[in-house]
A and B are shown apart, each in its own frame.
Chain A
Amino acid sequence: MTTDAAPALLEVEHLTQRFGGLVAVSDVSFWACDRKITAIIGPNGAGKTTVFNCLTGFYTPSEGRLCLNSGDSHWLLERMEPYRIAAAARVARTFQNVRLFSGMSVLENLIVAQHVKLMGASWFTVAGLFGLPGYRKAEREAVELARYWLDRVGLVGVADWQAGNLPYGAQRRLEIARAMCTDPRLLCLDEPAAGLNPRESADLADLLTFIRDQHRIGILLIEHDMSVVMKISDHVVVLDYGRKISEGPPAQVRNDPAVIRAYLGEEEE
């Protein structure tokens, strides 16, 4: 783990989430660092998505602390409303089953992602209604940012299409672009490679390394596709039955007997 004096971007400490009698996540702690890709892996039902939902405020954790640090600012995510987590702490996420605004155009999806910024620029619509120049400038900049990300994910040509009409792989890329348009500090991706072909997976890996290296933000990744995980992650956290069973650099985790046991069963011993 990082030993820098500054705290890690995200500190998850003793996270526990219960649903009635079921303990979905039990006492999980890990850090995710700035400019690093942290992967959470584990068999189905290990509680990975639950961790994400706690992080982004859709569930309120039963116990534990989720702290996001940036410079001198700190946010305790478990105490914040979900929309504040996105707007103030700037944690962006994608969803396992793509959640685009499918009736709106590709570009509109990215403009909506810049809502918080634009809402301020339009003085909560008043300035916008009268078409004041300040707002128009802000909107032009928003389109430019959108164009930048569409260019990155190769969707500029279809910017005016209905998002729902895009092929599946493109929808996944668009969702990542949309999350990036919120200008996040931490990007959480829930199985971004699910349903992609090998070619698309490789492109995705390139995109994620690009985001990490050029935009210098932290990425938290849930993924089943081990080729992607092993290739790009800097740090891997392994969950099984809601508990953390291993943690470390990819090479180390790959050879951890506990991990092998979790994936392949007890007989391996």
Chain B
Amino acid sequence: MEYFLQQLINGVTLGAIYGLVAIGYTMVYGIIGMINFAHGEIYMIGAFISVISFLVLGAVGITWVPLAVVIVLLVTMLFTAVYGWTIERIAYRPLRGSFRLAPLISAIGMSIFLQNYVQLVQGARVKPVPPVIPQVIVLMERADGFKVAISYLQIIIIVLTIVLMAGFTLIIQHTALGRAQRACEQDMKMAGLLGVDVDRTISQTFVIGAALAGVAGVMVTMYYGVIDFYIGFIAGIKAFTAAVLGGIGSLPGAMLGGLTIGLIEAFWSAYFTVEYKDVATFGILVLVLIFRPTGLLGRPEIEKV
């Protein structure tokens, strides 16, 4: 029971991170119908930028943790947003309306490029980061000494994710940007005819998605304490799985999917084998796509004849 509870906490934390990355996939897929293969790399870049910012802050002497974390979050979001914008501008926008596999291939190229770019400029070695917020709260203790604990960091991650999700849902439902996005999702051509600046809306979508992935990058840096240039690939596929599982194009779906994947991974590692935890995730991706391609919260799609 105690063990289960601990895994639940770990799984939810992990799920929050996946969920944040999944939002980027789901929004982009919803609006232009492509898998932004390079999105995982944005998350990886976010992790690197957060490490760099922590080190710079340490060097200039800002050591009060809450301030440092807030600054790092903002800086990372800014830079990853620029990356998101640039990628869309360079690699996807010119291909809009091209044949259907072109953007996906371009995205794969972009992903390979970014991975190797980071490897080249930052080195291939794993980057260890000392824990920034080490405090934990012990919730209960078993007779044999096993403690169920939730760390401050886990609380921060979960709360921050909830706040971002809530804010983001408000944006989609109540602002002009959200309306434009939903319009483009329905019918891009028509939205354009009605005066929605389609290019700009898509750019903004990428910017928001990238900023959220940046936040996830910061979280993962603080949570695991080690990063390398390769983390984006696997995390990207997992987050994409989360997006598909929740129903691609659906924001609550992305979060739900992220949570599910996080929990499955945590419990699988805890009760079965750590080695095969990725197989479990990929297996779920395959099963969902085969048996319920619309995901948990997605709308069904009828083949148009």
Please indicate the chain A residues that have their CB under 8 angstroms from the CB of B301 in the complex. Answer: none
Query: Please, what's the 1-or-0 string for A71-114, where 1 marks a CB less than 8 Å from any CB in chain B?
Result: 00000000000000000000000010000000000000000000
A53 CB-CB contact with B under 8 Å:
yes
Query: Is the beta-carbon distance between A19 and B305 smaller than 8 angstroms?
Result: no
Q: Do the beta carbons of A95 and B302 come within 8 Å of each other?
A: no
For the complex, is A148 an interface residue (Cβ under 8 Å from B)? no
- Can you list 6 contacts pairing A with B, beta carbon distance less than 8 Å? A19-B302, A49-B305, A53-B305, A58-B303, A58-B305, A95-B305
Q: Which residues of B contact A49 (CB under 8 A)?
A: 305
Chain A residues within CB distance 8 Å of chain B = 19, 49, 53, 58, 95
Closest to A50 in B: B305
A residues near B302, Cβ cutoff 8 Å: 19
Q: Hey, which chain B residues are within 8 Å of A19, CB to CB? A: 302
Give Cα A19–Cα B302 distance, bound, in whole angstroms.
10
- B residues in contact (CB < 8 Å) with A: 302-303, 305
Name A's interface SS.
mixed
Residues of A within 8 A of B303 (CB): 58
In Å, the complex CA distance between A49 and B305 comes to 9
- CB-CB nearest in chain A for B303: A58
* A58–B305 alpha-carbon span in the complex (Å): 8
Least distance between B143 CB and chain A CB atoms (Å): 56
In the assembled complex, which residues on chain B have CB atoms less than 8 Å from the CB atom of A53?
A: 305
Give the residues in chain A near B305, CB-CB below 8 Å.
49, 53, 58, 95
Minimal Cβ-Cβ distance residue in A for B302: A19
Looking across the interface, which residue of chain B has its beta carbon closest to that of A53? B305
Chain A nearest CB: distance from B300 CB in Å?
A: 9
Least CB separation from B300: chain A residue: A20
What's the least CB distance linking B278 to chain A, in Å? 36
**A95: chain B residues within 8 A (beta carbon):** 305
- When chains A and B are docked, how far (Å) is the Cα of A53 from the Cα of B305? 8
Cα of A58 to Cα of B303 in the assembled complex, Å = 8
Least CB separation from B305: chain A residue = A58
A58 nearest in chain B by CB position: B305
Complexed CA–CA distance, A19 and B303 (Å) = 13
Please, how many angstroms separate the alpha-carbon atoms of A129 and B302 in the complex? 39
Give the Cβ gap from B24 to chain A, nearest Cβ, in Å: 31
B189 to chain A, nearest CB (A): 16
Closest residue of A by beta carbon distance from B99: A103
Between A49, A58, A95, the greatest number of chain B beta carbons within 10 A of the residue's beta carbon is seen for: A58
Taking the closest CB of chain A, its distance from the CB of B305, in whole angstroms, is 5
A91 to B302 CA separation, bound complex (whole angstroms): 23
Identify the closest chain B residue to A99 (Cβ): B305
Q: How far is the CB of A57 from chain B (nearest CB, A)?
A: 10
Q: A95 CA to B303 CA in the complex, in Å? A: 14
Tell me how far the C-beta of A86 lies from the nearest C-beta in chain B, rounded to whole angstroms: 13
The residue of chain B having its C-beta at the shortest distance from the C-beta of A49 within the complex is B305
CB distance from B98 to the nearest CB of A (A): 15
A199 to chain B, nearest CB (A): 29
A49 to chain B: closest CB distance in Å? 8
Shortest 6 CB-CB contacts between residues of A and residues of B:
A58-B305, A53-B305, A95-B305, A58-B303, A19-B302, A49-B305
B192 CB, nearest partner CB in chain A, Å: 21
CB of B101, distance to nearest CB on chain A (Å): 14
CB distance from B37 to the nearest CB of A (A): 26
Cα separation A45 to B303 with both chains bound (whole Å): 18
Closest to A190 in B: B305
Would you give the shortest CB distance from B43 to chain A, in whole angstroms?
38
Contacts of A58 in B (CB 8 A): 303, 305
The complex places the Cα of A53 from the Cα of B303 at a distance, in Å, of 11
Smallest beta-carbon distance A21→chain B, Å: 14
- Among residues of B, the one whose C-beta sits closest to the C-beta of A52 is B305
Say how far B51's CB is from chain A's closest CB, in angstroms.
Answer: 49
Chain B residue nearest to A20 in the complex (CB): B300
In the complex, what distance in Å separates the CA atom of A68 from the CA atom of B303? 25
Q: CA–CA, A25 to B232, complex, Å? A: 50
Q: Which residue of B lies closest to A56 (CB)?
A: B305
Cα-based distance from A53 to B302 in the complex (angstroms): 12
CA–CA, A51 and B302, complex, Å: 16
Within the complex, the shortest CB–CB distance from B142 to chain A, in Å, comes to 51
In the complex the two chains form, what is the Cα distance from A34 to B305 in whole Å? 26
CA distance A27 to B302 in the complex (A): 22
